[in-house]
A and B are shown apart, each in its own frame.
Chain A
Amino acid sequence: MINEDIDIDQLIAAWAPQPHELSVNVDGVNHSYGEGDLRKQVLFNNRLKIRRGEIVIMTGPSGSGKTTLLTLIGTLRSVQEGSLKVLGTELKGINARATTDLRKRTGFIFQAHNLFESLSAFQNVGMSTELMGMKHTHAKPKIEATLQRLGLGQRIHYKPKSLSGGQKQRVAIARGIIHQPDLILADEPTAALDAGSGREVVTIFQEMAREHGCTILIVTHDNRILDVADRIVNMVDGSIHSNVLVQWNSAMCQILNDFPVFRGLTPSAISQVADMMELKRYSPGAQIIRQGAIGDEFFVIGKGVVDVIVDGETVNTLVDGAFFGEVSLIKEQPRNATVIAKSDVSCFVLSKDEFQAVVESNSTFEEELRKAIFMRQ
């Protein structure tokens, strides 16, 4: 049975968001630098959907294309190939005016701070509120409160050259969030910060995501803040290697853990399997599997009611959290029953090939142990 803490509706919504819920939709984006013989492709057919209010952490080795993707999403580079929609606007072939409008709705936090050297901390943040046309009397208390909260209360009127690296970073963060952007793009925002202020920053991010539906994309190697991620995207060699919706993945792991067929898999393997589950929807009356057919898919009912029919006779009715077709993951056998949807049914489906691939590539317990010991050195 499905654990009661798990909200299946939310899982289904998160797994398959409606187009209007998307803040960022990267679809088949390729990108190259240079011309002619020097042309080098750095992004390969990337797909990424980010829902409004999601906090996404993007990791990956340097040179993997994270930054390029980030600058593409931030309209700082123009899209060459594929479609990229941000806050409802298609970026391919976007004009200058729309670019400026989008940039105003985006908060950038640069690792290199890029503060205005001639301006005080307060004025640096003020450049953001002024651009939004915010009145000084209205902006002043807000800026002061934000700087205060980030521990810069004593440094409000200091110029960048009198601030430490971490303090500059916090001013840059304040500047990036003060205007309540709909999208925050941050590059290593917490790298220069101590644990306390780093935590304060991610807490602010979470508040912005929850309270204002702000979408936050963070490129970071700082594993202290992984816990705030709704989604963790890993890029390798110019493509998205894995894209894990953390909550969904952990819920799915819990579900899979209950099945005998997954016993003996390590947690990371189960997580990989969970990641491979696909959502399929059926309307009432639809035949999900047919008795006698060769099947290679395993089903977990997310939501809905199905009838199990053997030789024309309904033998069972299954509801949320039940599963069927598990034998097909191990052996190739004809289906021994027909399953028909009685209501709207959402199933999480795992195919045999993918399951086998995970099992084969997955290391045994002993191998895992060796790896762990090796990593310690």
Chain B
Amino acid sequence: MRINLALLNILNDPRKTALSVAGIGIAILLIFMQLGFRGAIENTATNIYGKLDFDILLRSADYLHFMDCGKIDRDALDQAAAMKGVQSVNFLNVSVANWRNPQSGTTRGMLVMGIEPDESPFKDRAVDRDFDLLKNDSVLLVDQRSHPEFGPANGQKFSHQDIGRISELGGKRVRIAGLFSMGAGLAANGAAIMSQVALERNVPGSHKSRVSFGLVKISPGHSPAEVALRIRDRLRISHTQTSVQILTRPTVVQQELDRWLGETPIGFIFTLGVLIAFVVGAAIVYMVLGNDVANRLHEYATLRAMGYSNTYMGITVLKQAGFLALFSFVPAIVLALALYWLTGVAANLTMEMNTTRAGFVLLMTLGMCGISGVLAMRKLWKAEPAELF
């Protein structure tokens, strides 16, 4: 049973250690929250694509984001459908139309998706809904995860109470025929699904000869990249390829992440948040350890006089840093889980803890404490055994 000097040093003053652990823990919690927000944004940004059923996406070269996506000729979809390896091609039309809040009468821009009720562009069960409801005229399905400002009957969330209510979309009367649950992403606060026919009636300029997205499914045994290349070659011949982007699923997701996290300041803000939390945490650890080493300088000098090596002393400081890291990480991750849950409830943002993130933050914590430990170690060399007598 070896004497664990580092652990005993940490435990010697529980009150001081608790304070240190609280400080470091808050820094770790901040890192968790920043990463959580960032993760929530990633999820939200790509959520809609995750629900659409496609291997290759055709969309306009003018595409900016889901609500400002431009249009392509339906013709391009027909050409793609004829290519070898293509199993089916479907479409999705996206528009933004003014929705009148049935409670207050104010209007809000709502994302409206037009589909053929017989041929759902969504993955099975992704938008767990029977689209037969849309076969009636002037009806829509409303997203339960729409913001309350769109006027749900109970003031918080669209529910069964809202089915059958009448409102206006694009200035024309519509009836809420049902609900779905999707989450419209970062650009829109609310979403609805209509049949293509109804969309054309409510939103001018939604003719089915021009669509927002072409959703290509490929036959088994073909590679999406190859098929995409083939479609690109075919469209080049018909001179429409310059206005059409042909993208595989991973590229679509990546481009969406790049746009929200790279081109907008959002990603930067959270990365900066993580960095600041890291630096603050490291500063706290450095202060705690530096103080501890300074207070125990004569003890370290004694170790040196006894014949303990510099390595032993350095490792003792690093081990103290490691214990601080672990002791701080545990309460921080518990609190983070609680706050993720709370944020999910309060802000309608899905924040999920996963092992990758937990592991990453643990590594960051160890890194934070390690760096500070090494810096604090420099004070060790001041331990002068000749001063002991």
Contact = CB atoms under 8 A, between A and B. Distances in A.
Interface in B225-283: none
Interface in B268-316: 296, 298-299, 301-309
Nearest to B312: A131
A130 B385 CA distance: 20
A83 B303 CA distance: 26
A104 B8 CA distance: 23
Interface stretch (A118-126, A259-267, A322-330): A118-126
Given A71-B386, A116-B5, A187-B389, A131 B305 contact: no
A198 interface: no
Interface stretch (A43-51, A106-114, A204-212, A297-305): A106-114
Nearest to A77: B386
Given A114-B298, A131-B306, A123 B389 contact: no
B2 interface: yes
B9 interface: yes
B299 A76 contact: no
Contacts of A346: none
Contact of B309 (A100, A119, A127): A100
Interface string A75-119: 011000000000000000000000011111010101110111111
A106 B306 CA distance: 8
A303 B12 CA distance: 64
A103 B305 contact: yes
Among the interface residues A100, A116, A159, which one has the most CB atoms of the partner chain B within 10 A? A116
B327 to A, nearest CB: 16
B386 A131 contact: no
A33 to B, nearest CB: 11
A130 B388 contact: no
Nearest to B2: A130
Given A104-B307, A108-B305, A117-B299, A76 B385 contact: yes
B15 to A, nearest CB: 14
Contact of B388 (A76, A126, A128, A219): A76
Contact of A123 (B3, B301, B305): B3
B307 A118 contact: no
B383 to A, nearest CB: 11
Nearest to A117: B12
A295 to B, nearest CB: 48
Given A110-B388, A110-B389, A123 B8 contact: yes
Interface string B350-389: 0000000000000000000000000000000000011011
Given A76-B386, A110-B388, A112-B388, A118 B5 contact: yes
Interface residues of A, number: 32
A261 to B, nearest CB: 45
Among the interface residues B303, B304, B306, B309, which one has the most CB atoms of the partner chain A within 10 A? B306
Interface in A121-173: 123, 126-128, 130-131, 136, 159
B389 A130 contact: no
A70 B296 contact: no
A238 interface: no
A110 B389 CA distance: 6
A70 B386 CA distance: 9
A67 interface: yes
Among the interface residues A102, A119, A126, which one has the most CB atoms of the partner chain B within 10 A? A119
B389 A119 contact: no
B345 interface: no
Nearest to B304: A103
Contacts of A104: 306-307
B346 interface: no
B347 interface: no
A119 B3 contact: yes
A219 B301 CA distance: 20
A180 to B, nearest CB: 14
Contacts of A118: 5, 8-9, 11-12
A232 to B, nearest CB: 20
Nearest to A120: B8
A126 B3 contact: yes
Given A114-B298, A117-B296, A130-B3, A103 B307 contact: yes
A100 B2 CA distance: 21
A40 B12 CA distance: 42
A108 B306 contact: yes
B306 A128 contact: yes
A136 B299 contact: no
B298 A74 contact: no
B267 to A, nearest CB: 45
Given A119-B5, A187-B389, A74 B305 contact: yes
B79 to A, nearest CB: 77
Given A76-B305, A103-B306, A114 B388 contact: yes
B299 A116 contact: yes
A102 B304 CA distance: 12
A219 B389 CA distance: 10
Contacts of A159: 12
Interface in B98-146: none
B382 to A, nearest CB: 15
Contacts of A100: 307, 309
A136 B1 contact: yes
Nearest to B301: A114
A76 B303 CA distance: 12
A115 B12 CA distance: 14
Contacts of B306: 103-104, 108, 127-128, 131
Contacts of B1: 136
Nearest to A106: B307
Interface of B: 1-3, 5, 8-9, 11-12, 296, 298-299, 301-309, 385-386, 388-389
22 contacts: A67-B389, A70-B389, A71-B385, A100-B307, A100-B309, A103-B304, A104-B307, A108-B305, A110-B302, A114-B302, A116-B5, A116-B299, A116-B302, A117-B299, A118-B12, A119-B3, A119-B8, A128-B306, A130-B2, A136-B1, A159-B12, A187-B389
Given A76-B305, A114-B302, 14 more contacts: A77-B386, A103-B304, A103-B305, A108-B305, A111-B389, A114-B299, A114-B301, A116-B5, A116-B299, A116-B302, A118-B9, A127-B5, A128-B306, A130-B3
Minimum-distance CB pairs A-B, first 10? A103-B307, A104-B307, A118-B12, A118-B8, A76-B386, A114-B302, A76-B385, A118-B9, A77-B386, A71-B386
Interface of A: 67, 70-71, 74, 76-77, 100-104, 106, 108, 110-112, 114-119, 123, 126-128, 130-131, 136, 159, 187, 219
